[in-house]
Amino acid sequence: MVSLVTAGLSAIGGATATAGAMSTMQTIGMVTSGISALAQISAGQQQKQMYEQRARNERLQSRVEAINAKKKGVKALENVNASLASILAGSFRGGIAPDMGTINDRSVFLVQRPGANDYFDTQWNASMAINTGEMRAKDYEMAGVQAQNQGYIMALSSFGNAMMNSQSISPMFQTARA
């Protein structure tokens, strides 16, 4: 793509150099076409910037979502702690060993397992928020590069057409003017 841009710029240079051999209207055509090409390049670059902005937003949004998910994970752990504390307290009061029998089953199946599930869900959510956010940001960045390329291509196309139009005007006419 860089080579396309370089070719386009050298074409503009060449056109300007040969402007001396062209009629006034040809010169006007070539100059306006050049300006149009520059505008198209600028439009492409602005479009790219817009996509980059969106990419940044997506990354930020994904981090916020991850933090919220992690906060929920902490909450789940706090709830697990509170439940486990109540079990421990009940077992000591009842003189029952907390790590065996019903007490232990309650601890494992009614507290630790759902707490762990909740916690891992929140971790998953946080992780996915970051990853998908990054994916979307990359998507936007790639789209931006493409938008910029479109600007270059349209500029080259417009200017190339202008060059061909200019060249298609009779060389005899130009010779006669010279």
Partner 1 sequence: MAQTFKPYQSVGQGLNPLKLPQGYALQESKNTMNVLSQGLNRMSDFAFKQASVFAQIEGEKWGVENAPTLKDVKQANKLGDDPFSMFDNSVFGRTARASALKVLENEIIVTGTKTMNDLVYNAEKNSLHPNDLNDGLNAHIMGLIEPIAVNSPALASKLKAQFLLKGAEEFDKYRSAHAKATATSLGIQDRKATNLWLSELSSGIFNTLYNENQFTNEKILSQKDILSLMLKNPSADYTKAEVEAKIKNGGEFDKAVVSFLKDKIYEQVLTMPLAKQNEMLNKILDGDATGNGRLDNALKISPMNSSERENIVNSLSNHIQRLKNDEDWKEQVLETERLDQVEETKKAFRKATKGEINYEEAKEAINKMYTLDHEEGDKLNADLDGAKGGKYLETDYNNIDVRVFLDRFKDKVPTYEDLENISPLLSQEEYEKWDKIIDLHKDKRMKIAMGDIEIATKYDPTAKLIEDDEESELRKLKYKELKMKLERSVLEATANNIDLDIEARVAELTEGVAEELDGKKKELDLENLKSYLNTMFKPNLSKWLESPPEEDLEIAQTVLLKLKSIKRQYDTKEIKETEANRRLREISPAVNTGSLLNQINRLKEAIEAIN
Q: Determine, following the binding rule CB under 8 A, whether residue 7 of this chain makes contact with partner 1.
A: no
CB nearer to partner 1: give 6 or 86. 86
101 binds partner 1 (CB under 8 A): no
Here's the x/- map for partner 1, 76-95, by CB under 8 A: it reads as x--xx-xx-xxx-xx--x--
d(CA 73, CA 118): 7
Closest C-alpha among 39, 59, 29, 57 to residue 134: 59
CA distances from residue 32 to 4, 27, 36, 91, 162 in whole angstroms, order as listed: 20, 9, 6, 88, 9
Q: Provide the 10 A C-beta neighbour count for residue 95.
A: 6
110 touching partner 1, by CB under 8 A = yes
Which residue, 15 or 80, is less far from partner 1 as judged by CB?
Answer: 80
Q: Does the footprint of partner 1 cover residue 132 (CB under 8 A)?
A: yes
- Helix locations, 18-112, DSSP H: 24-94, 101-105
Task: Estimate the crossing angle of helix 24-94 against helix 113-168, to 10 degrees.
Answer: 180
Residues that bind partner 1 (CB under 8 A): 51, 65, 69, 72, 75-76, 79-80, 82-83, 85-87, 89-90, 93, 106, 110-111, 114-115, 118, 121-122, 124-125, 128-129, 132-133, 135-136, 138-144, 146-147, 149-150, 153-154, 156-158, 160-161, 164-165, 168
